[in-house]
A and B are shown apart, each in its own frame.
Chain A
Amino acid sequence: RKEVEQDPGPFNVPEGATVAFNCTYSNSASQSFFWYRQDCRKEPKLLMSVYSSGNEDGRFTAQLNRASQYISLLIRDSKLSDSATYLCVVNGDMRFGAGTRLTVKP
């Protein structure tokens, strides 16, 4: 079993849709979790940290479920500019998920 697993997608959604990604991890001792965004042919950039109590940043909500060992990212009111690959990382392992590709269409 991979240490960090993501649904690779692709997710194709219309503008304004709500979309959610999950990321499961195997190391129960992991302490820090992050979501990154990567645009085509660019480096990953930090989107948001994931806190135990869940956290929100505008249209983006990140949650952590320790019991089931997964983190999630919810994007509300999708914009065309949200089209990218979203990567989760479990920092205790320094491993990234393979990424979930999102395409938002007009």
Chain B
Amino acid sequence: DVKVTQSSRYLVKRTGEKVFLECVQDMDHENMFWYRQDPGLGLRLIYFSYDVKMKEKGDIPEGYSVSREKKERFSLILESASTNQTSMYLCASTQSPEPQHFGDGTRLSIL
């Protein structure tokens, strides 16, 4: 079974902090994704990556950056956290055209 592991289930940070969300997958998948999910808005794509050191903006990249230094790891960075970034963050990986596999999610609260 594919395993996608997110570093934290719950995280509380303060505004202005730099926040790192880590995601690791163990299936040698090329494609990795970061989404956020908010009530009534569904899953929104922040960034994705097709390969090491490669990244593409999704629909809502503002305020975020990503890093993919190794194939198995895709990090989401909040450069200066703000309260409107309080959300559920979901990481996923896949090897096209297979479906995405998700991590358990990180509930991030910015105070």
Contacts and interface: CB of A to CB of B under 8 A. Distances in A.
Contact of A45 (B58, B96, B102): B102
B43 interface: yes
Interface string B75-111: 0000000000000001000101101111111000000
Given A43-B104, A43-B105, A96 B42 contact: yes
Interface residues of B, number: 21
Contacts of B48: 94
Nearest to A97: B42
Contacts of B96: 32, 91
B45 interface: yes
A12 interface: no
B41 interface: yes
A6 to B, nearest CB: 8
Contact of B33 (A31, A87, A94, A97): A94
Contacts of B41: 98
A73 interface: no
Nearest to B103: A43
A95 interface: yes
A99 B42 contact: yes
A49 B40 contact: no
A34 B101 CA distance: 12
B40 A91 contact: no
Contacts of A31: 97
A87 B102 contact: no
Nearest to B104: A43
A94 B94 CA distance: 10
Contacts of A89: 99-100
13 contacts: A32-B97, A34-B99, A36-B99, A42-B105, A44-B43, A44-B90, A44-B102, A46-B99, A94-B48, A94-B58, A95-B45, A95-B59, A96-B35
Given A46-B101, A87-B42, 13 more contacts: A31-B97, A34-B99, A42-B105, A43-B103, A43-B104, A43-B105, A44-B90, A44-B102, A45-B102, A95-B45, A96-B35, A96-B43, A98-B41
